[in-house]
């Protein structure tokens, strides 16, 4: 079989939407499969990356808060470049985001921190004291003003789904404060680290997409959808693409 070369480069909104829909249908596990059936001429890896780093409904966007900075700094000093591990402690942030952030901001700070003759290693210009570490609230309010398909952390406003994703996330995040995270870190300290909050958790995944009947992970656990058999329920993608362009984004099956 002559495989067409997979597309590379920036994703279009249309591609994003297709991906979101197919992840909604088939879950966020079978990336190769999704890449194939979605008609996106992308690799499974590319799809996964796009989803994880950009389209996942639980994602926060916008600047890191001081609390997050502090956490990153501390965790990095503890774990090094284990970005995904660090990301698990930061609700709504991805490993890629943290990695980038570290490279640009934190490296400087960490260097300063090293150089600075600070009495206790766990306090620094940005880590400071817990009294400076009020609530998670500031974490919840990082949304930028942009209202695009992207910035909602998912297909929120354009499709039927929800703009409540972020709010819902906020709630669940609220349920888990930074204090808790710190405690958890202190407890786990090194070995048996238990991801206490996983930004990619099932709960954060229940955005709704046209045609989606249930939360994505349902499929992943191959209960409802026998995805082991190649599904034959494909609808012609181009049925919704035109609609999408008019921002309708509905699959008119």
Partner DNA sequence: AACGATCTCAACCGCCCAACG
Partner DNA sequence: CCGTTGGGCGGTTGAGATCGT
Separation between Cα atoms, residue 204 and residue 166, nearest integer Å: 9
> CA-to-CA distance for 230 and 37, rounded, in angstroms?
9
Burial of residue 138 (CB within 10 Å: 0-12, 13-18, 19+) is: middle
Contacts with DNA, 15-54, as mask; x by CB under 7 A:
--------------xxxxx--------x-xxx-xxx--xx
Annotate each residue in 162-181 with x if it binds DNA (CB under 7 A) or - if it does not, as one string.
--------------------
168 contact partners, CB below 8 Å, separation of at least 6: 162, 203, 204
Which range binds DNA by CB under 7 A, 4-12, 116-124, 132-140, 185-193? 4-12
User: Hey, which residues between 65 and 124 contact DNA (CB under 7 A)?
Assistant: 81-85, 95-97, 99-101, 103-105
Q: Considering the rule CB under 7 A, would residue 225 count as an interface residue with DNA?
A: no
Residues 70 and 95: their CA atoms lie apart, in Å, by 16
User: How many binding residues for DNA (CB under 7 A)?
Assistant: 34
CB of residue 61 vs DNA: minimum separation in angstroms?
A: 7
For 164, list phi and psi in degrees, rounded to 5.
-90, 0
Binding site for DNA (CB under 7 A): 7-11, 29-33, 42, 44-46, 48-50, 53-54, 61, 81-85, 95-97, 99-101, 103-105
């Amino acid at each position: 079989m002559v495989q067409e070369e997979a597309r590379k480069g920036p994703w279009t909104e249309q591609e994003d939407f297709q991906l979101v829909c197919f992840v909604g249908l088939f879950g966020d596990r079978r990336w190769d499969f999704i890449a194939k059936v979605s008609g996106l001429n992308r690799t499974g890896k590319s799809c996964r990356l796009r989803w994880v780093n950009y389209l996942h409904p639980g994602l926060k966007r916008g600047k890191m808060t001081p609390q997050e900075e502090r956490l990153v700094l501390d965790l990095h000093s503890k774990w090094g470049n284990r970005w995904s591990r660090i990301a698990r402690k930061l609700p709504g942030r991805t490993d890629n985001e943290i990695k980038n952030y570290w490279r640009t901001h934190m490296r400087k700070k960490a260097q300063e921190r090293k150089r600075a003759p600070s009495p206790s290693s766990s306090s620094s210009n940005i880590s400071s004291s817990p009294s400076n570490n009020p609530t998670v609230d500031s974490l919840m309010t990082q949304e930028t003003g942009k209202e695009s398909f992207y910035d909602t952390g998912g297909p929120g406003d354009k499709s039927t789904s929800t703009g409540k994703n972020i709010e819902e996330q906020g709630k669940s995040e609220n349920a888990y404060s930074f204090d808790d995270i710190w405690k958890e870190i202190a407890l786990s300290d090194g070995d048996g680290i238990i991801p206490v909050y996983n930004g990619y958790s099932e709960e954060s995944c229940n955005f709704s997409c046209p045609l989606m009947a249930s939360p994505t992970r349902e499929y992943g656990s191959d209960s409802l959808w026998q995805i082991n058999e190649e599904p034959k329920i494909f609808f012609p993608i181009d049925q919704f693409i035109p609609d999408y362009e008019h921002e309708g984004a509905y699959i008119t099956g």
